[in-house]
Structure 1
Amino acid sequence: MTPFSELRQQAGLTIQEVAREMGFDERTVYRWESGVTSPRKPVMELIRGKIGEKLLNAEPRFTFIDLFAGIGGFRRAFEPLGGKCVFTSEWDAFSQRTYRANYAIDHELAGDITAIPAEAIPAHDVLLAGFPCQPFSLAGVSKKNSLNRPHGFQCDVQGTLFFDVARIIQHHRPKAFLLENVKNLKSHDKGRTFDIIMKTLREDLGYQVQTRIIDARSWVPQHRERIFIVGFREENSFDFSSLGLTDAADNPALRSILHPEDGSEEADGRFTAGPKGKVLDRYTLSDHLWTYLQNYAEKHRLAGNGFGFGLFGPNDVARTLSARYHKDGSEILIRQSRKNPRRLTPRECARLMGFEKPDGKPFDIVVSDTQAYRQFGNAVVVPVVEAVARHMLPYILAEERVILAEEEVRAVA
């Protein structure tokens, strides 16, 4: 299926309707459909606009709330399935700016969730939350240990935010929830932290809960393991383990998200320039920083540690993108011919996290590079959440199907 064909079908348009509404002859549209030629960007934008109109005018299949929303990775996955976001909470002002730039918001974008009473949040079918992971991540725990600070549920600032999720679930009793966190959540504090979370969700709140650690490698050229926690209010046959992953041979490499720098991608002036769309020199490491990183890596190699930079080419798969990427980019450096390696651009980070495709609509990056790196490093990988959302959808909608079936039986009787 061509990108045009996929968009056309999402918009619910026939080939004849595209030709009539956009002023082209049907033969031209058939050529777009088959991939013989490609339509210009304005045509694709018009069709995307039709999809937006369709979503806005359609009755939602379910409602959801987006907690610790960041830049909307969860929303980006659940909205196309017919979900309507009725409440969003994100405390960071820069992330709020990016969120507003990329989503049509018809409700208040709330700040600190700890200051919002559960009854002030609208009723909803699904609760989505990537609650802050720093207190449970390997890096976060190491840093706090070195500073002799508490972590996990002993952390007064972020570790207890899970309980804000719990109090909202307790008050609203949504049909389902999806939570995401770092893989280390399961082993933190010898498993005691995870046990508390599971006990809260299963015993105190009474939900049917399953978990799964998923590596984003099946969808994007990045090893990024995260734990996903799915809960349903009612018993059902949902099986998280049956979510299929793609074969390793079919998984993408970094080439799929890098700027091609060969003229096939139009330069944007912010990240790339010139007739070939070359990445700007400011993303290439200075001699000073490159020397420092090499010396640092050698020092730890001699000490038997695994610390050091990660250097990759177009056929490789990257390490995990982190929120600290803005500091030196050391975890994912791109090899360059006869030059020092370079950082990924924020546009490439957007693609690496699945917020856009090279041939798709650009994700609006309306903040500085530093803030953009932090936002993408803290985000969920969108295609992973899309896969989980599709796996959950039949069970989210199941209650409505049962009600409709009962009404039909009563009507016949």
Structure 2
Amino acid sequence: MSSKDPAFTFIDLFAGIGGFHAALSALGGECVYASEIDEAAAKIYQHNWEMEVHGDIVPETDPVVKVPKHDVLAAGFPCQPFSKSGFQRGMDEARGTLFWNICRILEEHRPSLVLLENVRNIAGPRHAHEWDVIIRSLRDLGYQVSSTPAVFSPHLLPPWMGGAPQVRERVFIVGTYVGDETAWDEVDPIVTNKPVGSWNPQDWRLSEILEAEDEIVDRANFDLTPAEQTWVAAWADFVRRFRELDIPKLPGFPIWADAFVHEDDLVIPDETPAWKANFLRKNAEFYTQYRTVIDAWRDAHDHLAGFPPSRRKLEWQAQDAATLAECIMHFRPSGIRVKKATYVPALVAITQTTVLGSPLRRITPREAARLQGLPESYEFPGQPDSATYKQLGNGVNVGVVRHVARVQMARSGDRWAQVAASAGVTDSVTA
């Protein structure tokens, strides 16, 4: 299909670096308008998609001034608080928020489909009011949407359907324009937060998305610092010593070197919170049982002298993994968290980049881009890696967006069912 004859047109609001664009263009769509207020992200979008990116969808007068007609509105919109005062409802209450600008565009152009994405917490109890306003506003505009949050993650989608080894739960609000008469009819959520079909997420292998070591540009940039290597070496030795005792599983509670005291010597002040008291008791019991091996380990590593408090804790979540080398790690404020190298936690727009046990390094920007489902051709020129990690952490997963859009298309009438079918999805698809 040529670019002059797209299956549909779409606009990309709060566009980031273009995850929605990648997903919808793969389904045959053509982007006719994009907006992103972050200049660095907009430059990456423009570089990869070779189109103008508007700095804001909120002109001083009216957000619909520059927006052309389109078939699909896509937006990873920020969650802003809505007023809880008075008796305002629906669109009236959305005024003054960025979501209101989406509503104004929908009101003006009435695109056939709307595809919104947000963080998991928007559907949580603390944002119940905001959720209610969003759903009512869309229904007021004639869009049939589910009031049940549609939560999904790329690790629940098999690789042949565009999944990725990353736990990234996001909420999708997807609607089809049906008019006032049936907009308030309840429908099932577009996806459910469980694996698709018979796919088992434990079958993911993070190694399959890694770059070859000799092909990584500026390879030394991803090495750990000497201090970080010291932390890892100490805890790797800790795991090794226990595995040599044929102990199949390390404690599931955080292992805290500063809490290693004999049970008989444990003193817990009265004001200690219950959770911490339990934590201290478990570590004392663990130390008492394995005192000989733990003391030998501490002596071998100078009792972790110079380790920051958060690096004196090990959060073992790798079940029966034999060594630290076969795991992944995250340097968190709560401790060094260790997991099996199946899939990674969500990429975030801050530190805590995933650390590989072997080869001992951080994941590269290219590997992070693969975790977000971006094409291999995607480039991030002229910026430091820290900016790229941040942009990827703020982005959407391409495979998940494509899956959600295809399933919605398959149940949105003949025209959209044909688009979905051409992308390998029929009415019988199960989400």
TM-score, normalised on structure 2?
0.62
CA distance in 2, matches of 1:398, 1:245: 24
User: Hey, what does 1:308 align to over in structure 2?
Assistant: 335
Shift of 1:207: 1.4
Contact 1:166 1:200 in 2 (8 A): yes
Shift of 1:400: 8.0
User: Hey, what does 1:318 align to over in structure 2?
Assistant: 344
**Equivalent of 1:199, from 127, 136, 144?**
136
Shift of 1:369: 0.4
Shift of 1:199: 1.7
CA distance in 2, matches of 1:256, 1:232: 37
Question: Structure 1 residues 65 and 241 mapped into 2: Cα distance closer, same or farther (>3 Å)?
Answer: closer
What are the residue-to-residue correspondences of 1:5-404 with 2, within 5 Å? 54-57=1-4, 59-105=5-51, 108-115=52-59, 117-133=63-79, 152-153=81-82, 160-187=97-124, 189=126, 191-202=128-139, 204-210=140-146, 211-218=149-156, 219-234=163-178, 240-241=189-190, 245-246=196-197, 247-248=199-200, 251-261=203-213, 267=215, 269-270=217-218, 280-289=219-228, 291=231, 295-298=309-312, 307-312=334-339, 315-325=341-351, 328-329=352-353, 332-336=354-358, 341-356=360-375, 361-366=376-381, 367-395=383-411, 398=414
Shift of 1:355: 0.6
Question: Structure 1 residues 92 and 250 mapped into 2: Cα distance closer, same or farther (>3 Å)?
Answer: same
CA distance in 2, matches of 1:124, 1:96: 21
Larger CA Rg, structure 1 vs 2: 2
Shift of 1:88: 0.5
CA distance in 1, matches of 2:393, 2:225: 23
Question: Structure 1 residues 299 and 241 mapped into 2: Cα distance closer, same or farther (>3 Å)?
Answer: same
Question: Structure 1 residues 335 and 388 mapped into 2: Cα distance closer, same or farther (>3 Å)?
Answer: same
| Partner SS, residue 64 of structure 1 | strand
Contact 1:293 1:308 in 2 (8 A): no
TM-score, normalised on structure 1?
0.64
Shift of 1:216: 1.6
Larger proportion of helix: 1
CA distance in 2, matches of 1:121, 1:78: 18
Shift of 1:311: 3.7
One-letter amino acid matched to 1:255: S
Question: Structure 1 residues 190 and 268 mapped into 2: Cα distance closer, same or farther (>3 Å)?
Answer: closer
CA distance in 2, matches of 1:240, 1:180: 13
CA distance in 2, matches of 1:77, 1:184: 23
Deviation by residue 1:101-138 (Cα, 9 ceiling, x = unmatched): 21142xx42112222631321011110000125x6xxx
| Partner SS, residue 145 of structure 2 | strand
CA distance in 2, matches of 1:283, 1:294: 21
Shift of 1:394: 3.6
Shift of 1:333: 1.7
Shift of 1:362: 2.8
CA distance in 2, matches of 1:346, 1:355: 11
Question: Structure 1 residues 80 and 249 mapped into 2: Cα distance closer, same or farther (>3 Å)?
Answer: closer
